[in-house]
Amino acid sequence: MSQVRLMREMRPAAPPVAFPASGKRILRQPSPGTLAVALQISKPNSLDWMTAMDCVCEPHERERWGLILAGGEGVRLRPLTRVVYGDERPKQFCALLGRETLLERTRRRAALAIPPGRVLVSLVRAHEPFWSPLLGGMPPHCALVQPQGRGTAPAILHGLSRIAATAPLAAVAIFPADHWVSDDRALMAHVLAAFSAVRVRPELVVLLGVAPEDAETDYGWIEPGGPVRGGTRLYRVQRFWEKPTPALAEDLFERGCLWNSFILVARVPALAALVRSAAPDLASAFAAVQPAIGTGEEAPALEALYATLPPVGFSDRVLATRPANLAVLPVQGLAWSDWGQPARVLATLGRLGIRPAWAGRVAPRSA
């Protein structure tokens, strides 16, 4: 039995947070090579938990940035979103649970740990009719509009270029815009733990791996390796498994592997170095336009660049190389779904006791 599976079965499912239940900040200085102390609060929805999260005000908070990837097409969920809205809008611009769209929920979630003025949103120009009404109150500099959709790797590099122009040594958390999470505060406590990790170990790139509920075949999986030195809850990434067969998924589940959330935290130099190593051509292309980033020349420079770029996925091209500085942080104490399929959305809503009026109009074969 793996160490991660043993931890999932034997320990309370509560994420780490760097504040005690009293809500007072821990003032001790971390020693080199160790993380700030992480305490376990057994009831993530308790008053103690809320107090702890509301008091997050680390001295290094100014180093934190966020990047939300909201440029995807959402094709797999189109049979459902077309029924709900009657048009071709991507799922991140849809309100499928309450009145908030998935993008708005992601922005609100990120703001639990990162100042909203430092949470950038990567968008695509063709989607402007859908995202434009959602950006009210967001600082203009936070909207990163790509000329075309060219996959997650260019979107991430564009975001890193904008952050590097202002804060070249910053730590950034990258979030997909289209996930559902049962407990936003619990998830962001894990993101804070990852920020703490890369503050102490700036070379690390930390992925959040969700403790699975079942042997899901439609998700990517992370197989953890040995623990990262330093007394942390981080593990090396042994291997990625993409959309396994049912038999393999059952084996991964039994061995304590984790669902890949594609939420990651790293310092800008570490991510930039990772891309230079795995995709030097892409890194060089963005390096050429870096002087224009944040100036009036950014839009035409990106226009010319994106006209030459093929679609590039960050997972396939970069993470799949499994660099030695890649680590995974197990996420426990919450439910998570990427809402990639109609059936998954309906299952989540059913779990919450919600049946929208449009549910009966979703074709059975798409659910």
Sequential DSSP letters for 88-138: ---GGG---SSSS-HHHHHHHHHTTTS-GGGEEEEEEGGGHHHHGGG-TTS
Burial class (CB in 10 A: 0-12, 13-18, 19+), 62: exposed
Residue 11 lies in a domain: no
Q: Which residue has the tokens 């120009």?
A: 125
pLDDT exceeds cutoff 90 at 302? yes
Residue 50 lies in a domain: no
* Structure token pair of residue 323: 């660099």
pLDDT exceeds cutoff 80 at 365? no
Task: Give the closest residue to 256 by CA, choosing from 223, 284, 279.
Answer: 223
* CA distances for 347 relative to 245, 333, 336, 360, angstroms: 21, 19, 12, 13
What was the pLDDT predicted at 292?
95
Task: Give the closest residue to 188 by CA, choosing from 97, 53, 65.
Answer: 53
C-alpha torsion sign, points 152, 153, 154, 158: positive
Strands 220-227 and 64-69, by their bridges, are unpaired
Per DSSP, what are the bridge partners of residue 206? 265, 327
Residue 218 lies in a domain: yes
Mean pLDDT value across residues 170-192: 97
Residue 145 lies in a domain: yes
pLDDT exceeds cutoff 80 at 109? yes
Identify which has the larger pLDDT, 3 or 162.
162
Instruction: Domain of residue 339: give its range.
Output: 62-366
Task: Give the closest residue to 87 by CA, choosing from 126, 135, 137.
Answer: 126
What was the pLDDT predicted at 60?
58
Beta-carbon neighbour count of residue 245 at 10 Å?
A: 10
CB 188 within 8 A of CB 113: yes
The dihedrals phi and psi of 235, each to the nearest 5 degrees, come to: -130, 150
CB 57 within 8 A of CB 71: no
What was the pLDDT predicted at 184?
97
What was the pLDDT predicted at 269?
97
Round the average pLDDT of the chain to a whole number and report it: 84
Per DSSP, what are the bridge partners of residue 66? 119, 173
Query: For the chain, what is the radius of gyration of the CA atoms?
Result: 20
* CA distances for 329 relative to 8, 104, 258, 265, 360, angstroms: 13, 25, 9, 10, 39
pLDDT-derived band at 323, boundaries 50, 70, 90: confident
Domain CATH number, residue 276: 3.90.550.10
Round to whole Å and give the CA distance between 210 and 187: 10
Query: Does residue 262 sit in helix, strand or coil?
Result: strand
Domain count, the chain: 1
* Structure token pair of residue 144: 């990163």
For residue 328, give the H/E element and its range. Answer: strand 326-331
Identify which has the larger pLDDT, 150 or 26.
150
Residue 52 lies in a domain: no
For residue 180, give the H/E element and its range. Answer: strand 180-181
Mean pLDDT value across residues 226-242: 88
Can you say how many angstroms the Cα of residue 35 is from the centroid of all Cα atoms in its chain? 21
* Structure token pair of residue 350: 């059913």
Beta-carbon neighbour count of residue 182 at 10 Å?
A: 15
Residue 258 lies in a domain: yes
Round to whole Å and give the CA distance between 113 and 103: 16
Residue 38 lies in a domain: no
Residue 57 lies in a domain: no
What was the pLDDT predicted at 3?
42
* Structure token pair of residue 240: 């990625």
